[in-house]
Structures are given as structure tokens and as C-alpha cells.
Amino acid sequence: MTIHIDPHLIQHYKHVNCLLARLDLRAEPWAVVASERRELRGDIIVFPGSFNPPTLAHLAMLRSARDLAERHDGGHWRVYIALSKQIIDKETVERMTLLDRVGLLEGVLAGYVRHAGIVLFNRGLYVEQAQGIRAAFPQVQRLSFLVGFDKILQILDPRYYTERDTALRELFALARLLVAPRGGDGARELQALLARAENRPFAGFIRPIPLEERYREISSTRARAEGRLDDLPREVYDFIQRTQPYAPLLRQTDGLERDLYTSRTQALQNLLAT
């Protein structure tokens, strides 16, 4: 099987690999910017996720969050996709490597969202990512995290904490949350959630953003299963069609399971190693 990989892509992946090597999972929370010679400063919106793959809904959420912040809070807001190094552990199950996601997002953001970039973290929790940004980029002033309605349910759920209110106070001392609709859950459902007695102390730190109906049902899970062009940016759709990251593994005559994407990933790792 012949695998061709663009030499320019290899250089970019080498740069991202070097950044990932700086992110120690055992160290204090930290953040780096995937693009060269850029720093986080001023007012920023950070959108954490796995982006496996990036969808048109992700891009629409970014644009809507930035527009809302600039309209209501004033100032010039930059937006960032955020990925955690910890998702590498899931790559063998979910496919599409972190390197490929960063490479795809670099190209997609340039064409769809102005003043956007990518941040890489060594931790996965929101409070840890906020701490990482504050530690690595003290020039940041106002920080907001963009999340979907499904995520705000998790963030407010006491089952995920040993001491929920303490953890939430720590988070909201560092950042605010912007919440996008998912499915049939939007601003009204968020208002009802925040009206609960246990959530009212934190309601002032959480704000809904609008999102067009056509984006509310789009998800990476659906995109992996169906791969529909109307869910994906053209660049992402073309990459999936070309490299087949979500195709089932095929058992070869030697008993090993491999396919086009596996072979491409192995070839890329060999090139990066040299």
C-alpha cells in the first residue's frame, strides 16, 4: 500500500509533536498555542473538546459565542479550539489521531472563523485548563469557556465531585461559561437548570448563546457514523473520504488488523521519528 504524505504537513506535525512533548501529564496545569509565534492575550473564548471530527456545528458555535461576547461585553474577543493531550489514550478506540485533528482544525479555522487558533493542554478538567491558561498566559484578561448544553449538565452534576460547590467556585474565579443549545435543549432549559436552588449561586457566571436550529443536531458521533457532507466542512469531509479514519479494521492474511488509516498513521510516525 503506497502512502503519500505532504512534506509541508510533516513539518507542521513535527512542530505540534514538539509542543505535545512539552506537556507533561504529571505536571501542574499548563497550556501552549499550536500555531507558531502566537500568544494568548486580552479577552478570549476557549472551546474544549475532542473534535473527532470537527463539524460545522463546532464552527457555528465559535462564531456565535464571539459575536455574543463582543455585542454584550464589548472589546475584541479571540476564539480558540482546545484539545487535551489526555485524549491520545482514546485514539486506538475512536481513531483520528490528535495530530490529524490539529492539522485539520488549523486549515478549517483559517477558512471559517476569523481570529481563531488552537490551544493544547496537559489536563482535561475545565478548572485545570483555566489554571493552565492563567499560568502560561498571564496577559489573558477575560476568559470564557464555550460548552454545549450536555456539558453544562455534567459541570453542575454533583456526582462528578467530592465537593461540588468548592470546585465550582474555583472554576468561576477564573472563567465564565457560554452554553450552546443541543438538540431540543436551549436557553429556556438552561434558565430552568440555573433556577434550581443548588445552582442559583453560580447562575451569574453562565450565559446562553444562540445557535441556528440546523446545527443543534450535528455531532461528531453522528459524523463518524454517517460522514455526511452537510455536517462537515469540505476539508474535513475530503480528508475522511481520502484517509478513511472511521472505516472498520480489516484482518490481513498475517492475522494483523490494518487498513488505509492505520498504514498512513504508521508511515507518518516513522517520518516524524526521523
pLDDT, mean of residues 248-264: 73
- pTM value? 0.92
Q: Would the pLDDT of 127 be above 70?
A: yes
Strand locations in 68-190 (E)? 77-84, 116-121, 140-148, 176-180
C-alpha to C-alpha distance for 42 and 265, rounded to whole angstroms:
37
- Burial class for 53, CB neighbours closer than 10 Å (0-12, 13-18, 19+): buried
Q: Would the pLDDT of 3 be above 70?
A: no
Task: Give percent above pLDDT 70 in the chain.
Answer: 91
pLDDT in tens, 138-153: 999 999 999 999 999 9
Q: How far is CA 148 from CA 18, 23, 52, 57, 158, in A?
A: 31, 26, 15, 10, 18
pLDDT in tens, 205-249: 999 999 999 999 999 999 999 989 999 999 999 999 999 999 887
pLDDT score, position 259: 83
pLDDT, mean of residues 167-196: 97
Q: Which residues contact 30 (CB under 8 A, 6 or more apart)?
A: 22, 23, 24, 121, 122, 123, 132, 135, 136
